[in-house]
Amino acid sequence: MNGNATAASGSFAGAIAWSVSRDLRLALRHPDETLLTVAFFALVASLFPLAIGPEPQLLARIGPGIIWVAALLAAFLALPSLFAGDYADGTLEQMVLSPHPSFGWALGKALGHWLVTGLPLVILSPLIGLQFGLPPDALLVQALSLALGTPLLSLLGGACAALSLGARGGGTLLAVLALPLFVPVLIFGSGATEAQATGIPPEAHLSLLAAGLLLALVAVPFAIVAALKIAVD
């Protein structure tokens, strides 16, 4: 029986493919959760005009910031469950003991989170931007800043979710850990659209976001793995 199978071997690509394909399949079994995230995003962003009043100039002025805050909260929503399921059913132990490079599956988990929560927000953001009366070029910059910023949120948030795994006060603790780390992303993300709206080229903000994303892509998966190893210890 044992002779049938080839020897086990790990690979970086195998690790990413495993994480992403499994998490996407799990998400497809419950598409309503992704839809809820998107609905939450739209709802939070729509609350502000209702509270502040429908004055077009004011809304166009604060729109970028509001959309970013709403996106940040929506991305945070799915974080507590990012590793909780794998931790509870024992899959996490198998991941840590897998012959695949741990960097790969950790990156894959963050990527999966982004595909399920971040990407829909990027796609939806121009629609919400129209609600706030943003001009077309600002809508584009907005979507671009979200496309660069939300993967960063998934990575940083993933590290915090891994740290708070199995801790008391789960969700609240996670908020205290993750939201301060989200602050720079928020500043540069909303700064890009705001710069565009006031006639300053947004490239500086966008390149800072891109630099942060590249740095996080190579560094944060290690932190996620270290935190998960502490969790299964």
Partner 1 sequence: MSFPEAQPPALLEAVSLSCRRGPVRLFHGLTLTAAGGEAVCLRGPNGSGKTTLLRCLAGLTRLDAGEVRWSGRPITDEDCAFRESLAFVGHLPAVKDDLTAEENLDFALKLRGVHVTDGQRRAALEQVGLGRRLTLPARRLSAGQRRRVGLARLALDPARLWLLDEPLTALDDEGQQLFRDLLAAHLSSGGVCVAATHHPLAPAGGHAREVWLA
Partner 2 sequence: MNWFYYASPATFYGLAGRLAPYFFLLAAVLTGWGLYLGMLVAPTDAQQGEVYRVIYIHVPAAWMSMFLYFIMACYGALTLIFNTRLSGMMARAIAPTGAMFTFIALWTGAFWGKPTWGAYWVWDARLTSELVLLFLYFGFIALANAFEDPRRGDRAAALLAVIGVVNLPIIYFSVKWWNTLHQGASVSFKGTSMHVTMFTAMLVMSAAAWMYAIAVTLVRVRSIILERERRAQWVREAVKA
Closest CA to 74 of 130, 36, 28: 36
Nearest C-alpha neighbor of 139 from the set 72, 198, 193, 206: 193
The closest of 95, 98, 107, 144 to 123, measured between CA atoms, is 144
Residue 69 neighbours by CB distance under 10 Å: 18
Q: By CB under 8 A, is residue 226 in contact with partner 2? A: yes
d(Cα 117, Cα 154) in Å, to the nearest integer? 9
Taking the alpha carbons at both ends of the chain, their separation in whole angstroms is 33
Rounded to whole angstroms, the Cα distance separating 18 from 40 reads 29
Sole window of 34-42, 77-85, 90-98, 183-191 interacting with partner 2 (rule: CB under 8 A) = 183-191
Residue 25: contacted member of partner 1, partner 2, none (CB under 5 to 8 Å, by partner type): partner 1
State which of positions 78-137 bind partner 1 (CB under 8 A).
85, 88-91, 93-102, 105
Question: Measured on CA atoms in the order 159, 162, 167, 173, is the torsion positive or negative?
Answer: positive
Residue with Cβ nearer partner 2 (136 or 166): 166
Quote the CA–CA distance of 56 and 184 in Å, as a whole number.
28
Minimum gap (Å) between residue 188 Cβ and partner 2: 11
Stretch that binds partner 2, among 55-63, 133-141, 144-152, 220-228 (CB under 8 A): 220-228
Q: Which stretch binds partner 2 (CB under 8 A): 48-56, 120-128, 143-151, 158-166?
A: 158-166
Choose among partner 2, partner 1, none what residue 227 binds, the Cβ cut-off being 5 to 8 Å by kind.
partner 2
Q: Does 32 bind partner 2 (CB under 8 A)?
A: no
Q: How far is the CB of 10 from partner 1 (least distance, A)?
A: 5
In the window 15-34, what residues touch partner 1 (CB under 8 A)? 17-18, 22, 25-26, 29-30
179 binds partner 2 (CB under 8 A): yes
Cβ within 8 Å of residue 86, ≥6 positions away: 92, 95
Q: Does 13 bind partner 1 (CB under 8 A)?
A: no
Q: How far is the CB of 84 from partner 1 (least distance, A)?
A: 13
Joined tokens for residue 105: 């599956």
Selected range binding partner 2 among 46-54, 134-142, 160-168, 198-206, rule: CB under 8 A: 160-168
Q: How many whole angstroms separate alpha carbon 94 and alpha carbon 205?
A: 40
We find the least distance from the C-beta atom of residue 197 to partner 2, in angstroms, to be 18
Q: How far is the CB of 163 from partner 2 (least distance, A)?
A: 5
